[in-house]
């Protein structure tokens, strides 16, 4: 039986990490909300995006990786 080895822990998908972080922020906001659903304005506020121009998280600022460097 062949078992594939796991990837080294130094490999990180920075986009996935940002998406996980943003999803967590939304979950926290939803749990704290008194209403049934978050309004689009509240979602924009939690994600810190400006919803007026229709822009979403296309322009996510790069996160600092190990040693304080930007990934990529």
pTM: 0.54
User: For residue 18, what pLDDT is reported?
Assistant: 92
Provide the pLDDT confidence category of residue 24 given band limits of 50, 70 and 90. Answer: very high
Q: In the predicted model, what is the mean pLDDT of residues 27-49?
A: 92
User: For residue 11, what pLDDT is reported?
Assistant: 65
Locate 38 and state its tokens: 């978050």
What gap in Å lies between CA 34 and CA 31, rounded to an integer? 8
**pLDDT of 55 above 60:** no
Q: 19, 7, 24, 27: which is closest to 56 by C-alpha?
A: 19
């Amino acid at each position: 039986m062949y078992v594939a080895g796991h990837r080294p822990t130094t490999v990180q998908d920075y986009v996935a990490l940002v998406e996980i972080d943003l999803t967590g922020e939304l979950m926290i906001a939803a749990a704290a909300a008194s209403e049934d659903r978050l309004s689009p304005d509240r979602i924009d506020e939690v994600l810190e995006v400006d919803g007026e121009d229709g822009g979403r998280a296309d322009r996510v600022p790069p996160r600092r990786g190990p040693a304080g460097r930007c990934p990529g």
